[in-house]
Chain A
């Protein structure tokens, strides 16, 4: 069913001629700070994201110290924590909650949303679809600076005397609405809400730009069916984000009203601090619905780009076409749609109507099917490959491993009857840290290793990369796998200490192991940090296409300037996964090589396309729907 569409693009060149000289002039400020070049903006997102990841990681080690070594004296942290240590050298229980909350917020939003999508959607969309830049460079720049502003506000909140927001990253009211309930719900919460509002603005500016760019700025011949899976993933991610972030904004806005203007959207019948509040008629459950209407799609906002990156890296380094391209796109589409109708599985035991629980169980477990399909496709791509273990490839395989390990526990949690016991225990912590936290983090790191040569024109050191990978994958498994056992034993999450309970008195050994593994894993990231900084300046000089990859970004010069391609934009003739094609000279044929140049490897229907390529020269675009 090789249907062939002809499409005449008379003004194909109209936007390509534009002034791609401009980057040569301009000063430091316009080139590196307020730059509208998508590649510079991507690097800004990456470096900010890495800084946040470091902060988020350090916060997690701080609370792991409390959980793994509850008896130890932490007075040596006095210079860092000051008043947040009790006189006995313990972390203050309220600050413990602040640590957990900020760790979650930072990792989910600032690292894995902005750091991941911000970096790779920005960097790869124009390069892989063959565009000079984003649809709106100015909006793109604004997107970063709103994110930066948001970061500044969130960072500031870490240092105020009442502490940052502390009610969990889900900020459920009434806890987050009432400063009487905990210190962190005062100024810290206000700053959290302001930072998140700015963050949502940034995310929307970015998302609209990504969508517009993918739809409108694909180069000649780059039909949707020839898009690399990375672009499909970024495209779906952006759509999910644009549809769901506004709902979080609404939720936050109503919370601001409840906090500051005496409304009762989420508050009712509250007696606190010796007085009955006047608020009546609100519902805390409403907030949970609104929050998770973003919160669940957010999981996929974090995960899909990582899966897209992995698809690209696994195909390239297996020297094989990705298995089931259509099924991959289809399952991503299916996941993207379903991600909007599963949110209430976070709320089975919140007092929500149990009938709703049944519906959401059903929908939740359906989403497991496309996820399973994706795993099978990755594994089959490895089959009969000729696998090169670049560091990026190692991290991609690590991602699939986490996606599998963490994914299957979702089948327990999505089943409402089983979730009664497991909800809010360490089983949940283990589940989501593996399936979305670690998997997405590995996708991000894999992406950095893979595209570093195009970002900075130099190679990262591979041996340090191997060390980084093996320490991290073992470390991450040692951190999160034991949590399954702790969770099955019923240990609740967000607990400062379990010693009050006889039921939860065991597992001191496992908790210590987890904490030690967390510390080692954090230190392993410094190897990466060193490698990153060192290689920017002293790394081995990269060739234009160091991984022998097919996608368009590798047809640019070693360090592409603003405008990406020095001459004309490349034309695309084939899908991005022509690896190890029988008969071909090399084991890869890049997307811009016409079929007329590769008669030795063309499949039968492709030979027919050669004629169309010849017709009318470059004014005709061949859109073939075979793949």
Chain B
């Protein structure tokens, strides 16, 4: 009933508006609109000026007054460089933008129609045209080359002693795999070995996999190069660490990589932002389905490399958490696997998996 009344009301209002418009039109026809059109022309010209001034005013006011709300603190070495590039480009483009914006709306206002005046017959001016082709070309070239230098540094191969961490995206969560402290090497993986427990698809015939461990938080050392190895299990995802100015897609069937150095620990950042609850976060930026917006992965940056290594040492190997999988380890490697994964030799699974522990007596 209510909606019927509302729709009737809407129809009525629209009908009244239509009548007003129709009557206005007819009255206009009777009065003759010649003068009216030049006055409208002036009104539009004034509105152009108002629009230009109000628009630029709002732009500058918001950009300065709310600077802190949109400027994200930066916490990586290359991030400082790309941020600089960003702000240099910002100044260059804002200057160009403001000049052209003002000139355009000023021309629109200043050269509005006046009876009896005639426009100038100007078709081209080669000097002017060459100038405004060459100047943007030079400015752009400078921006490009500083950008390319940064890009080449960022995408150069990681150094050999970088901390390696693997990130795996799937609908709709992230997991991280760390090489164990014993060999500091990630073991092989194969997507065909993935099952409910072996979510990495860990290939247990590779001895490097024995001490790999899983983490549901991304732990990073401060001040040491980190290489992220990124892959996806199902569809595209994208690793986005906004504070580290880092983004790289996770692609099924292809490993991608990104190297960087974190310059501020979580504690540093809590101090800098004055927010004792500050935490780094990682997000997904490649649309991946229903839960795309919820793929948050907590990030923690340790104050020192030692702290980070201490944390690593405190983690349990995946194989230790899933000792059933000892069965999948080739017989000759099982003992090594148990040692590396830290599985006690007298545990139930260890005994079940051991080929030599037949009852001899």
* CB < 8 Å neighbour of B124 from A324, A394, A418: A324
In the bound assembly, the distance between CA atoms of A320 and B234 in angstroms comes to 59
Closest to B55 in A: A477
Interface flag for B206 (CB, 8 Å): no
Q: Is the CB of B114 within 8 A of A418?
A: no
In the bound assembly, the distance between CA atoms of A461 and B41 in angstroms comes to 14
In the bound assembly, the distance between CA atoms of A268 and B253 in angstroms comes to 5
Q: Is the CB of B40 within 8 A of A462?
A: yes
CB-CB contacts below 8 Å: B129-150 with A: 129, 132-133, 136-137, 140, 143-144, 147-148, 150
In the bound assembly, the distance between CA atoms of A384 and B111 in angstroms comes to 6
Chain B CB within 10 A, most for which of A268, A323, A372, A497: A372
Q: Is the CB of A373 within 8 A of B133?
A: yes
Q: Is the CB of B136 within 8 A of A368?
A: yes
Given contacts A376-B132, A423-B247, A502-B281, contact A167 B253 (CB under 8 A): no
Q: Is the CB of A327 within 8 A of B129?
A: yes
Interface string of A359-371 (1 = CB under 8 A from B): 0011001101100
Interface flag for A285 (CB, 8 Å): yes
Interface flag for A93 (CB, 8 Å): yes
Q: Is the CB of A466 within 8 A of B151?
A: no
CB-CB contacts below 8 Å: A336-352 with B: 349-351
In the bound complex, residues from chain B placing their C-beta under 8 Å from that of A368 are 136, 140
Chain B CB within 10 A, most for which of A361, A486, A492: A492
In the bound complex, residues from chain A placing their C-beta under 8 Å from that of B82 are 417-418, 420-421
Given contacts A93-B293, A361-B147, contact A420 B235 (CB under 8 A): no
In the bound complex, residues from chain B placing their C-beta under 8 Å from that of A477 are 55
Nearest Cβ in chain B — how far from A346, in angstroms? 12
Interface string of A413-428 (1 = CB under 8 A from B): 0011110110111000
In the bound assembly, the distance between CA atoms of A493 and B286 in angstroms comes to 9
In the bound complex, residues from chain A placing their C-beta under 8 Å from that of B224 are none
Q: Is the CB of B66 within 8 A of A357?
A: no
In the bound complex, residues from chain A placing their C-beta under 8 Å from that of B155 are 354, 357
In the bound complex, residues from chain A placing their C-beta under 8 Å from that of B194 are 271, 276
Interface flag for A400 (CB, 8 Å): yes
In the bound assembly, the distance between CA atoms of A470 and B100 in angstroms comes to 20
Q: Is the CB of A420 within 8 A of B247?
A: yes
Nearest Cβ in chain A — how far from B169, in angstroms? 12
Q: Is the CB of A389 within 8 A of B123?
A: no
Interface flag for A35 (CB, 8 Å): no
In the bound assembly, the distance between CA atoms of A501 and B296 in angstroms comes to 7
- Chain B: residues with Cβ within 8 Å of the partner, total of 109
Q: Is the CB of A379 within 8 A of B107?
A: yes
Q: Is the CB of A284 within 8 A of B251?
A: yes
Given contacts A349-B249, A507-B69, contact A417 B81 (CB under 8 A): yes
In the bound assembly, the distance between CA atoms of A375 and B100 in angstroms comes to 9
Q: Is the CB of A424 within 8 A of B285?
A: yes
Closest to B192 in A: A276
Closest to A168 in B: B287
Nearest Cβ in chain A — how far from B234, in angstroms? 4
Interface string of B214-253 (1 = CB under 8 A from A): 0000000000000000100111101010110111110111
Interface flag for A318 (CB, 8 Å): yes
Q: Is the CB of A386 within 8 A of B240?
A: no
* CB < 8 Å neighbour of A415 from B89, B101, B242: B89
Q: Is the CB of A411 within 8 A of B143?
A: yes
Given contacts A361-B148, A389-B45, contact A489 B69 (CB under 8 A): yes
Q: Is the CB of A323 within 8 A of B124?
A: yes
* CB < 8 Å neighbour of B292 from A375, A486, A495: A495
* CB < 8 Å neighbour of A175 from B90, B170, B288: B288
Interface string of B182-220 (1 = CB under 8 A from A): 000000000110101000010000000000000000000
Q: Is the CB of A284 within 8 A of B236?
A: yes
Interface flag for A383 (CB, 8 Å): yes
Interface flag for A432 (CB, 8 Å): no
Closest to B36 in A: A463
In the bound complex, residues from chain A placing their C-beta under 8 Å from that of B41 are 388-389
In the bound complex, residues from chain B placing their C-beta under 8 Å from that of A401 are 101, 104
Interface string of B315-354 (1 = CB under 8 A from A): 0000000000000000000000000000000000000000
In the bound assembly, the distance between CA atoms of A172 and B59 in angstroms comes to 35
Q: Is the CB of B119 within 8 A of A466?
A: no
The number of chain A residues touching the other chain, given as a range, is 35 or more
In the bound assembly, the distance between CA atoms of A312 and B342 in angstroms comes to 78
Chain B CB within 10 A, most for which of A93, A383, A389: A389
Given contacts A415-B89, A485-B66, A488-B70, contact A579 B40 (CB under 8 A): no
Interface string of B16-60 (1 = CB under 8 A from A): 001001000100000000000100110111011001000100010
A-B contact count (CB 8 A): 327
Interface flag for A606 (CB, 8 Å): no
Q: Is the CB of B253 within 8 A of A418?
A: no
Closest to A626 in B: B123
Closest to B152 in A: A358
Interface string of B106-129 (1 = CB under 8 A from A): 011001111001111111110011
Interface flag for B85 (CB, 8 Å): yes
Interface flag for A474 (CB, 8 Å): yes
Given contacts A270-B234, A271-B233, A411-B140, contact A386 B293 (CB under 8 A): no
The segment from A36-44, A248-256, A566-574, A580-588 found at the interface with B is A580-588
Q: Is the CB of A97 within 8 A of B292?
A: yes
Q: Is the CB of B40 within 8 A of A389?
A: yes
In the bound assembly, the distance between CA atoms of A477 and B269 in angstroms comes to 35
CB-CB contacts below 8 Å: A175-199 with B: 175, 178, 181-182
Q: Is the CB of B70 within 8 A of A489?
A: yes
Interface flag for B103 (CB, 8 Å): yes
Given contacts A351-B254, A389-B41, contact A172 B85 (CB under 8 A): no
Nearest Cβ in chain A — how far from B154, in angstroms? 6
In the bound complex, residues from chain B placing their C-beta under 8 Å from that of A412 are 86, 89-90, 93
In the bound complex, residues from chain B placing their C-beta under 8 Å from that of A1 are none
In the bound assembly, the distance between CA atoms of A361 and B141 in angstroms comes to 11
Q: Which residues of chain A have a CB within 8 Å of any CB of chain B?
A: 93-94, 97, 167-168, 172, 174-175, 178, 181-182, 267-272, 274, 276, 280-285, 318-327, 349-351, 354, 357-358, 361-362, 365-366, 368-369, 372-373, 375-376, 378-380, 382-389, 394, 397, 400-401, 404-405, 408-409, 411-412, 415-418, 420-421, 423-425, 461-464, 466, 470, 473-474, 477, 481, 485-486, 488-490, 492-498, 500-504, 506-507, 530, 577, 579-582, 587, 627
Q: Which residues of chain B have a CB within 8 Å of any CB of chain A?
A: 18, 21, 25, 37, 40-41, 43-45, 47-48, 51, 55, 59, 62-63, 66, 69-72, 79, 81-82, 85-86, 89-90, 93, 96-97, 100-101, 103-104, 107-108, 111-114, 117-125, 128-129, 132-133, 136-137, 140, 143-144, 147-148, 150-152, 154-155, 170-171, 191-192, 194, 196, 201, 230, 233-236, 238, 240, 242-243, 245-249, 251-254, 256, 277-279, 281, 283-294, 296
| A and B contact pairs by CB, cutoff 8 A, 26 listed | A97-B289, A175-B235, A269-B252, A276-B194, A280-B253, A284-B251, A320-B121, A327-B129, A350-B249, A351-B251, A358-B151, A373-B129, A386-B118, A388-B41, A397-B108, A404-B97, A411-B89, A415-B144, A416-B148, A421-B79, A421-B86, A485-B69, A489-B71, A497-B293, A503-B72, A627-B123
Known: A175-B287, A272-B171, A386-B113. 18 other contacts (CB 8 A): A93-B291, A97-B292, A271-B201, A369-B136, A369-B140, A383-B111, A389-B112, A394-B44, A405-B101, A408-B97, A416-B148, A417-B154, A420-B247, A461-B25, A485-B66, A489-B69, A502-B278, A580-B119
